[in-house]
């Protein structure tokens, strides 16, 4: 019978899918070979699904109902087809607020929906996609610190970031707070609560120098520079801006430091401050050497290596110079030591035993005429050593960082006439931002090469740091 039915469907010019769709729509599920009771049961279930979907569609046409249903726990993310609505409901569902706090959250969300444009939107901070609703949930948890009634807030702006910033300052600040601090309200910082306390601290008119748990002591000049940091910075970058400018440095030095291993943390701050002073006191030292010098100092003083010397046998090697200081060092001598270290490192077998877990981003391939361009991840210390030897740079120094998952290293290659030519080495930080692109002898990338990297980044879900340089 089923064979004859398939032949009949084909004779009518129908596909099997269109037949199944017709059966489902008319309550027959996927086969006519069923009892009347089965078909009636399936039709009833189908009508329930249609009614539920119709109710959801009606709710989606009214954001107020969507907000109310989400805060009451009556709307589930998997029921929503629109990604914005689904992400919104997922965030509300994930919040651990009780019934009372959910009610105040609903009040906040309704006011934002009525007066602003950012409620269901997202933005990018530090290479990560974040949602405004997550920040609003945190803001609602700080209601006791609100200094003005929510009902009196009027954004008066059309830019979403400015609208969000005006809400923060209406509720929490009597005095100006720098725009870069708005990012601390999104749940992405390990020290987020501490940073949010600083926001309130500054908003109440108190000096940043008096804030608790600062990573280092701020001079008056540093505190002033902290408030002048660029809006696009995050708070860690702003603190480096303040420190470097307070010591007498400039933006170029700041940006050179921010893309290095120390640009995301304040570990060993006492030592690294002396390094920053060294850079400031040598303004004619080419800032392209900042990264290699920091890599060298980090390796010599702090890096503990774990080397695979045999299958499942790991040997631990302590830092070569744990007592290293900057006292008495000159740029010429330090650069010579860095160069000697690069040569030795590329000859060393220490890095060869390290194997890295894939970062999870897709590789890239593009054909252009007879040329094939690829970007692939390097997954072992041996690969990094070969890359460094081929392009005459110090990428092998990243072996330990890659093994620990702090970053991943990729290589761009062009195949012409069946011959592979290595062109660039690319560093991707663990949060998905491309922070360094270097060719042979540490050259910057060309415009055409950067265009290919942009194409890869778009497909792989990566972002590109503004500090990635081009050959002019």
Query: Could you count the other beta carbons within 10 Å of the beta carbon of residue 265?
Result: 12
Q: Specify the pLDDT at position 124.
A: 78
* Any domain includes 254: no
Q: 272 and 337 share a domain?
A: yes
Number of domains in the chain: 3
Q: 277 and 317 share a domain?
A: yes
Q: Specify the pLDDT at position 102.
A: 87
* Any domain includes 347: yes
Query: From CA 277, how far away is CA 9, in angstroms rounded?
Result: 81
Q: 32 and 6 share a domain?
A: yes
* Any domain includes 447: yes
* 47-53 mean pLDDT: 60
Q: Is the pLDDT of residue 233 over 60?
A: yes
Query: From CA 450, how far away is CA 438, in angstroms rounded?
Result: 11
* 100-123 mean pLDDT: 92
* 273-297 mean pLDDT: 92
Q: 347 and 370 share a domain?
A: no
Give the residue with greater pLDDT, 121 vs 418.
Answer: 121
Q: 333 and 399 share a domain?
A: no
Please report which confidence band the pLDDT of residue 214 belongs to, taking 50, 70 and 90 as the band edges: very high
The CA distances from residue 160 to 66, 135, 155, 421, in Å, are: 21, 13, 10, 45
* Beta bridge pairs of residue 375: 364, 412
Q: Specify the pLDDT at position 21.
A: 55
* 195-224 mean pLDDT: 94
Q: Is the pLDDT of residue 278 over 60?
A: yes
Query: Could you count the other beta carbons within 10 Å of the beta carbon of residue 358?
Result: 9
What backbone torsions phi and psi does residue 88 show, to the nearest 5 degrees?
A: -60, -50
At 301-320, the pLDDT tens digits run 998 876 665 666 667 788 99
Q: Specify the pLDDT at position 296.
A: 92
Please report which confidence band the pLDDT of residue 430 belongs to, taking 50, 70 and 90 as the band edges: confident
Q: Specify the pLDDT at position 164.
A: 96
* Any domain includes 469: no
Give the residue with greater pLDDT, 339 vs 52.
Answer: 339
CATH of the domain at 413: 3.40.630.30
Give the residue with greater pLDDT, 337 vs 430.
Answer: 337
Structure tokens at 189: 């910082």
Q: 336 and 371 share a domain?
A: no
Q: Specify the pLDDT at position 134.
A: 93
Q: 327 and 376 share a domain?
A: no
The last residue of one of the domains, among 10, 28, 61, is 61
Cβ proximity of 420 and 411 under 8 Å? no
* Any domain includes 90: no
Please report which confidence band the pLDDT of residue 286 belongs to, taking 50, 70 and 90 as the band edges: confident
Q: 371 and 457 share a domain?
A: yes
Q: 329 and 368 share a domain?
A: no
Question: Which of 9-13, 39-43, 146-150, 159-163 shows the lowest per-residue confidence on average (mean pLDDT)?
Answer: 9-13
* Any domain includes 234: no
Q: Specify the pLDDT at position 107.
A: 95
The last residue of one of the domains, among 319, 353, 387, is 353
Q: 436 and 368 share a domain?
A: yes
Question: For the chain, how many helices (H) and strands (E)?
Answer: 18, 10
Give the residue with greater pLDDT, 389 vs 136.
Answer: 136
Please report which confidence band the pLDDT of residue 93 belongs to, taking 50, 70 and 90 as the band edges: confident
Query: From CA 347, how far away is CA 25, in angstroms rounded?
Result: 70
Give the residue with greater pLDDT, 70 vs 275.
Answer: 275
Q: 380 and 409 share a domain?
A: yes
Q: Specify the pLDDT at position 51.
A: 63
Q: Is the pLDDT of residue 288 over 70?
A: yes
Share of the chain above pLDDT 70, in %: 79
Residue ranges making up the domain that contains 437: 364-464
Give the residue with greater pLDDT, 188 vs 16.
Answer: 188
Query: From CA 48, how far away is CA 107, in angstroms rounded?
Result: 32
* Any domain includes 141: no
At 238-258, the pLDDT tens digits run 999 999 999 999 999 999 999
* 398-410 mean pLDDT: 83
The last residue of one of the domains, among 320, 353, 386, is 353
At 363-399, the pLDDT tens digits run 999 998 889 999 999 998 889 888 988 988 878 878 8
Query: For 271-429, where are the E strands, in sequence order?
Result: 305-310, 313-317, 364-368, 371-378, 407-416, 419-429
Q: Is the pLDDT of residue 426 over 90?
A: yes
Q: Specify the pLDDT at position 452.
A: 93
Q: 263 and 349 share a domain?
A: yes
Q: Specify the pLDDT at position 13.
A: 54
The alpha helices in 34-81, defined as continuous H runs, are: 36-60, 63-71
Q: Specify the pLDDT at position 393.
A: 82
Q: Specify the pLDDT at position 259.
A: 83
* Any domain includes 82: no
The CA distances from residue 62 to 112, 114, 181, in Å, are: 14, 12, 33
Please report which confidence band the pLDDT of residue 60 belongs to, taking 50, 70 and 90 as the band edges: low
* 67-76 mean pLDDT: 82
Q: Is the pLDDT of residue 351 over 80?
A: no
């Amino acid at each position: 019978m089923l064979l004859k039915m398939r032949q009949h469907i084909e004779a009518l010019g129908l596909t099997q899918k269109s037949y199944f769709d017709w059966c489902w729509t008319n309550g027959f599920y996927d086969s006519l070979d069923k009892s009347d009771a089965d078909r009636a049961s399936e039709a009833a279930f189908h009508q329930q699904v249609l009614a539920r979907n119709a109710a959801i569609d009606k709710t989606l046409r009214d954001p107020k109902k969507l907000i109310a249903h989400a805060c009451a726990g009556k709307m589930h993310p998997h029921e929503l087809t629109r990604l914005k609505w689904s992400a919104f409901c997922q965030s509300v569902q994930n919040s651990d607020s009780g019934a009372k706090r959910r009610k105040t959250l609903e009040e906040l969300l309704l006011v934002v929906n009525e007066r602003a444009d950012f409620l269901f939107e997202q933005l990018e901070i530090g290479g990560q996609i974040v949602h405004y609703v997550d920040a609003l949930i945190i803001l609602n948890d700080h209601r006791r610190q609100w200094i003005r009634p929510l009902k009196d807030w009027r954004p008066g702006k059309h830019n979403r970031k400015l609208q969000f910033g005006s809400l923060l300052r209406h509720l929490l600040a009597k005095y100006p707070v720098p725009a870069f601090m708005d990012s601390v309200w999104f749940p992405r910082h390990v020290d987020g609560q501490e940073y949010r306390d600083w926001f309130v601290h500054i908003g109440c008119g108190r000096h940043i120098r008096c804030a608790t748990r600062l990573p280092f002591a701020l001079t008056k000049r540093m505190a002033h520079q902290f408030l002048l940091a660029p809006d696009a910075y995050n708070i860690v970058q702003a603190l480096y801006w303040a420190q470097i400018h307070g010591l007498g440095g400039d933006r170029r030095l700041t940006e050179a430091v921010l893309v290095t291993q120390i640009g995301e943390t304040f570990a060993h701050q006492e030592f690294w401050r002396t390094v920053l002073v060294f850079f400031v006191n040598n303004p004619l030292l080419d800032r392209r050497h900042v990264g290699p010098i920091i890599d060298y100092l980090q390796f010599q003083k702090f890096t503990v290596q774990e080397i695979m010397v045999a299958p499942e046998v790991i040997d631990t090697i302590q830092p070569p110079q744990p007592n290293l200081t900057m006292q008495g060092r000159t740029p010429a001598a330090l650069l010579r030591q860095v160069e000697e270290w690069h040569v030795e490192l590329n000859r060393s077998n220490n890095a060869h035993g390290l194997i890295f877990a894939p970062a999870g981003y897709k590789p890239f391939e593009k054909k252009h005429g007879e040329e094939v361009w690829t970007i692939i991840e390097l997954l072992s210390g041996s690969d990094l050593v070969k890359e460094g030897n081929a392009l005459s740079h110090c990428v092998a120094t990243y072996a330990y960082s890659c093994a620990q998952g702090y970053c991943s290293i990729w290589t761009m290659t062009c195949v012409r006439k069946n011959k592979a030519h290595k062109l660039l080495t690319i560093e991707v930080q663990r949060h998905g931002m491309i922070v360094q692109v270097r060719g042979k002898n540490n050259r910057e990338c060309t415009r055409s090469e950067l265009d290919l990297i942009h194409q890869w980044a778009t497909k792989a879900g990566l972002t590109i740091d503004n500090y990635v340089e081009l050959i002019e």
